[in-house]
Structure 1
């Protein structure tokens, strides 16, 4: 357990996910502004002044191992539910950035970050969310067709992925992650198609 009373800040941005209809193209006029953007769940940031002691059980061999252990301890998560994505050490502190996972499936937009110094936790932030079923019921071929129909672009052959997407209503969707392109229109998108309903939830514009 971590002692101390932190200062907490909410860094949640406005919801940026726009509902779409399965019968209406997301981008009928190849207008990039029509693309649904990825929602970012509320990010709670805690600061601990000069820092609070990290439990000895959470101090591991290096930055990666210690950071994962700290997040697991803080949020009550199990092994495999926290993935280290990057980090670095400086004269000021050690910094780590992590992502949430469930059943070895990474979340697109649920992340954590922390800073440590001299065996103490200085800051801790997280937008982790509750999980959902990890077994898709919509085949990827159907998801590709939905992505192409909604964007009027074509699947570019990049490997598809199964990931989680936190939604603005507080729920979590298992999604097929599919890249589509329309070179003539200058469109290159990563589209997130619900792996249970086939709904297109959002997309990331690689060109904008």
Structure 2
């Protein structure tokens, strides 16, 4: 049984968007993620999964309720402090890779360290290790505009993990891939897990959910099931 405080938690979180009509995306959502867990968020389109991920990723703030990081309420922190926490504690993998096309693989991955204070030598070492971990040593000096879609996704993953975040958030990481390539990406993500790091994945893909330790179903902005696997 897990007894330690969660790394990240949503405590009765509501999120409404002004209308007309007003949209209540989250309606008192409670959610806990502990160190080392892999959690899948599932549910129909419009259920509130992406809004929940934005809350967990400190990209949005609740209309009501609390977001807790290591047990501390961070719901009312300013933009600068939230940016610092995102840069140091969290990693993001989105369907749109958001790579800078005219920069190289190494340069794009190095952007994942922009909020950390490290020497040039440590930064270079971390970046090259991350690029190697996703199997792109031979392409590390290629411009991202010259990469295939699969290679670009691997760069995005390397950038997300280069600073060794405690919490990795992924939004439909296999959504644009066939089953074989999707399985390769899942294998890669699993290989990058540690006992201290946690992963939260929004997905419609049963193959992704099956690999998670817990599957949380969200419907109408609320958690309706939370199953250990």
TM-score between the two structures when normalised by the length of structure 1: 0.26
Q: Name the structure, 1 or 2, with higher relative contact order (CA <8 Å, separation 6+).
A: 2
| Rg comparison, structure with higher value | 1
* Higher fraction of helix: 2
When the two structures are superposed, what TM-score results if normalisation uses the length of structure 2?
0.24
Structure that is richer in strand per residue: 1
